[in-house]
Structure formats: C-alpha cells, structure tokens
Amino acid sequence: MQPMGAPNPTPPAGRGAGVRRGFGFVIALVGVLLLTGGSALAAHAYSNSRQTTPNYKYGLSLWKDEPVDHLFPETLGGKDADYEGKLSNTGRALWRRLGISQETACDKGLSAKTLAKAKELGCEAALRATYVDPTGNTIATVALMVIPGGESKRREMADFFDGREGLEAAVHALAVPGSLAEGWTDAVRSGSGLLPVGGDSMPYVVAATAGAADGRVAGGLPGEWGEEDVDGKMDRTSWQGSATDLASSFVSYIDEIQMGSAQ
C-alpha cells in the first residue's frame, strides 16, 4: 500500500510520447493523402480544360460567328508529311491571304451559271477572300457558299459544277489594291474548282477560281499541242488544279473550325 501523501507513480518512460508520435503520423498520412488527392483532382480538371470538344451545331452558324480573319486564315494549306499540325501552319503555307471581301451577297460573290444554280438551291451568302501561292504567280479567290437545307443540296451543286467540265468560272475575282492581286479581274480567270462540305450541320459549298498574277489568260496551246486543244481545256487544267487545291484545303480548314482544332 502506498503511503498517504506519497507522489503518484511515474508512467513508464516513452509510452505517452509514443502515442503522440503515432497520432501525429496518422494525421500526417491523412494530410498527404488529401494533398495527393487534391492535386490529382486539380490535374484532372486542368487536363479536361485543355481538351477540345467538337460542337457540331456550331457548324450551322460559324460563317457568321467566326471572326472574318479567322474564317479566312492568313495562311492556308500547311500540314507536315504525316498530315499533322494545323492547316493554317505558317511554316508550311501553300496559300497566303491578300484580302477579304466585305460583300457577302451571293450575286456579288458568284458568277454565271454557278450563281443561277446556287440561287435555285437557296444560296444565303457567299463570303470571299483572295490568296496567292508561294511563287507569287497564281492568284485565287475562294468563296464560302452558304446553302442551307440538307447535304443533298450541296451535292447537287457539286454535280452541276462537275457537269460543266471546267468551263464554269464560278467565283467573281476579288482584286486587292496594293498587292499582287491588284489587277486580278474576272477577265483573267483561267480555272475553277468546287467542293461540298460534308455533314448535315455544315451548310457549305466551297468554290475557288484561279489565274495568273501577270494577267496571262489560258487559251489554246501552240503548235501541234493546239490541234487537240481547240477550246483551251488542256491549258486550263493546271489552273483548275490550283483552284481545286485551294478549295480542298479550305474545306478541311472549315472542318477544323467546327472540331475546335483550328488555330
């Protein structure tokens, strides 16, 4: 029996300290887990914020909602050998923009039978811009035609153009004062191309017309070559190829805008 007034026994050394250390370790572990979980959550949220989600309905209105200098990029046609990168990649540009038209009416942008057919199909607008190739020898005006009402209408527009066998000029030339396209007029157009943009939410047809920057006009070939090229179609082939190339690049670029990947 312990005498009255005697001091209480001292607890075994290290027991309380060990409990405190164990409790502190648990608290620290919980803190680390919370910190790790929070960091992972933040990283996941940041990753999601960097993703691009296609907005298919945006395709219906991008022609009037996109800034015009983004709708018609400064450069166009630049992807690497693996078909990666942006079509507006300046390091691989095949076309450089010279000017953009402020007029959007179909009858201001389209010409001849292309205009008549487009109006028949309900053409709502025709936005244009003029580009030049890297050599500075080829000028081309591209038009984004807005034709609502289903993909079949755009296909009909393309079939009509193909039936013209390269004789259709399609797009009014857009001259750009103070540039290589200063003398670019309808009279020197030498070839055109026209392609529909696919998808029900993309009410567009892209047409382009190309010609020589120096005003030279395609025509019958000289000598023996001209004997088989009475109407000058053979000489127009290269210009049609250039116009179709620009139209094709622009179709792909419009798809990039809708998918949210255009820069």
125 and 27 co-located in one domain: no
74 and 177 co-located in one domain: yes
84 and 42 co-located in one domain: no
- How many beta carbons lie within 10 A of that of residue 214, not counting itself? 11
Note the pLDDT of residue 6: 46
Note the pLDDT of residue 1: 43
- Within the chain, what is the greatest distance between any pair of CA atoms? 136
Note the pLDDT of residue 50: 41
131 forms beta bridges with 97, 140
What is the amino acid identity at position 37? G
The total number of structural domains that make up the chain: 2
Residues 6+ apart with CB under 8 A from 255: 197, 202
CB-CB contact of 175 with 209 (8 Å): no
Note the pLDDT of residue 31: 52
Note the pLDDT of residue 46: 41
80 and 175 co-located in one domain: yes
Give the integer Cα–Cα distance in Å for 212 and 195: 22
Residues 6+ apart with CB under 8 A from 87: 73, 76, 77, 78, 79, 249, 252, 253, 256, 262
Domain termination residue (choose one: 51, 73, 97): 51
Range(s) of the domain holding residue 77: 56-259
Note the pLDDT of residue 217: 83
Note the pLDDT of residue 15: 47
Note the pLDDT of residue 165: 73
**Cross-sheet strand order for the sheet of 189-196:** 75-76, 95-100, 125-132, 138-146, 204-212, 189-196
Give the integer Cα–Cα distance in Å for 67 and 73: 10
User: 151-163 and 112-120 helices cross at what angle (nearest 10)?
Assistant: 160
CA angle 257, 86, 139 (to 5 degrees): 90
* Strand-strand pairing, 204-212 and 189-196: antiparallel
104 and 40 co-located in one domain: no
Q: Tens-of-pLDDT digits for all 263 residues of the chain?
A: 444 444 444 444 544 445 445 545 545 544 544 454 544 444 443 443 344 455 678 899 999 999 999 999 999 976 544 445 556 566 668 999 999 999 999 999 999 899 999 999 999 999 999 999 999 999 999 999 999 998 999 999 999 999 987 677 899 999 999 999 999 999 999 999 999 999 889 999 999 999 999 988 876 555 555 555 555 566 678 889 999 999 999 999 999 898 886 65
Residues 6+ apart with CB under 8 A from 83: none
111 and 223 co-located in one domain: yes
169 and 187 co-located in one domain: yes
